[in-house]
Amino acid sequence: MTSVRTQPPSTSGVASSELRPDALGFPALLAQSIALISPTMTAVLIIPLAFSNAGQGTWLAYLFGTAMLLFVVFNLNQFARRSTSPGSMYAYTGRGLGAVGGVLSGWTLIWSYLFIGVAGMTGFTIFSRQFLDIVGIHTSIPAFVFFAISAVFCWTLAVKDIRLSSMLTLILEGLSVLCILALAAIVLFKHGIVIDTAQVHLTGVTFRGMSLAVVACIFSLVGFESATALGGEARNPLRTIPKAVIWSLILTGLFFVFMGYVEVFGTQGQHDTLDTLATPLNTLADLNKVGYFKLPLSLGAMISFFALSLSCLNAGARIIYPMARHSVFPTGLGKVHTANATPAAALSAYILLMFAVPAIWSTQIDVVTVFNGAGTLAAFGFLLAYFMVSVAAPIHLRKLGEIKPRNVVVAVLAFVFLLVPTVGSFYPLPAYPVVLFPYIFLAYMAVGGG
């Protein structure tokens, strides 16, 4: 199939140069989506949350979450196989739901990538402090200094070359995951091959607990669509982008299933249960007498969170860029760096937001709370974007005269599955101030709609 690229129309006052076409192959696109999902983040911080509800069924909750989101991928790839452009998911939704739907989709993705980027900066801060503490450097450096370091390096790499920043995210996340897998192998095989029958038989697992855990698991997996934002720079995009989207979800989903099993198995029978551990991987290292792993684990987490912010910056700016070219935003944000062929104006504006939000927020509360709040706020944006593209897919196929009954079934199943985390975000009612987060998001969407 021949690649179909859709470039935004030229507008007055916008640089005539475009993003660099055919710059990114499949590995770079896969790196973008995997880095935004951030397997390290889930392994070091979120699996204990899933365990608090699913218990011995944690691994199965991640398997369910992955399977449910695959239906969203099937809808998304109906577009990705047919056309591509910068900020593609914004364009995809517009093809099915019209210009207003497209703009609202882009608006919600800007929110999502911003707050996941904030989570990356706060995670970088948490593990930078942990790393310094392990090497014996006890310091009281303010959080905003770490935010600034992350922001400056993210912006420099993103403006310089999309190929460099994409491959760097692959290398950084890959090194972190390899370190985690090495520890997992020690936990599993130190005393030979042992099957955890409690997990296999789902001992003590309840339907309610599993349903609540699946909410956390789905939120661990969002971000797989971010490769579509690089549609204007992908090589052979009608093949590589759909592959990157689906394989990023499958690979990270299987990694979470595996690590869910390992972390539950490794902490079985301990006085402190998994859901009470702030740093479960460090605890596993101590329990298995490989405390020297704590240094590379903290370093790996630190660089992984940096890669997360970098991937969010690249994705978010490439949503802003076509929206500016379509005059949704000031046309100056659609300017391209003449030498590097990157959306420099959009990158600059977005990184300033990404730095300002945690810098201001952390003056009121601690960095860990900012991290948790940012992840929760981002989740609302991802859910709405996934709902919209799932509805848009069959409508678009009908316009093309290519609709089939299975396309409708897939869209309906995706919609139903997305209701699970949506309902779980409101019931049971979360504590203050999280209970206000949906209304903050709705207010943001109202501004976009206006």
> In the chain, where are the structural domains located?
26-388+418-449
- pLDDT value, residue 2: 39
pLDDT tens figures, 27-69: 999 999 999 999 999 999 999 999 999 999 999 999 999 999 9
- CATH code that applies to domain 26-388+418-449: 1.20.1740.10
Residues 28/170, Cβ–Cβ less than 8 Å:
yes
Q: What is the DSSP string of 217-230?
A: HHHHHTTGGGGGGB
- Say yes or no to pLDDT of 441 above 90: yes
Tokens of 220: 């661990």
% of the chain residues with pLDDT over 90: 75
Question: How far apart, in whole angstroms, are the C-alpha atoms of residue 363 and residue 351?
Answer: 19
User: From residue 97, how far is each of 9, 354, 387, 397 by CA, in Å?
Assistant: 20, 29, 12, 12
pLDDT tens figures, 290-319: 999 999 999 999 999 999 999 999 999 999
Tokens of 72: 């969203």
Least confident among 124-133, 343-352, 418-427: 418-427
The mean pLDDT of 4-13, rounded to a whole number, is 42
Q: What is the DSSP letter of 55?
A: G
| Of residues 137, 173, 109, the one with CA closest to residue 306 | 173
Note the Cα 241 to chain centre separation in Å: 16
- pLDDT value, residue 399: 94
Token look-up 């970088």 returns 124
Q: What is the DSSP letter of 47?
A: H
The mean pLDDT of 213-240, rounded to a whole number, is 92
pLDDT tens figures, 270-283: 889 999 998 899 99
% of the chain residues with pLDDT over 70: 96
- Say yes or no to pLDDT of 16 above 50: no
- pLDDT value, residue 284: 95
Strand partners, 24: 234
Note the Cα 363 to chain centre separation in Å: 25
Residues 109/89, Cβ–Cβ less than 8 Å:
yes
pLDDT range class, residue 427, cuts 50, 70, 90: confident
Q: What is the DSSP letter of 57?
A: G
Please state the three-class secondary structure of 150-219 as a single string: HHHHHHHHHHHCHHHHHHHHHHHHHHHHHHHHHHHHHHHHECECCCCHHHHCCCCCCHHHHHHHHHHHHH
Q: Rounded to a whole number, what is the distance in angstroms from the first to the last CA of the chain?
A: 39
- pLDDT value, residue 154: 96
| Of residues 176, 169, 171, the one with CA closest to residue 310 | 169
pLDDT range class, residue 131, cuts 50, 70, 90: very high
The mean pLDDT of 134-145, rounded to a whole number, is 90
- Say yes or no to pLDDT of 237 above 70: yes
Token look-up 């869209």 returns 411
Q: How confident is the prediction for the chain on average, in pLDDT? A: 91
Note the Cα 36 to chain centre separation in Å: 4
Strand partners, 192: 190
pLDDT range class, residue 425, cuts 50, 70, 90: confident
| Of residues 306, 122, 119, the one with CA closest to residue 220 | 119
Q: What is the DSSP letter of 293?
A: G
- Say yes or no to pLDDT of 320 above 70: yes
Task: Tell me the Cα Rg of the chain.
Answer: 21
pTM of the model: 0.91
- Say yes or no to pLDDT of 19 above 50: yes
- Say yes or no to pLDDT of 219 above 80: yes
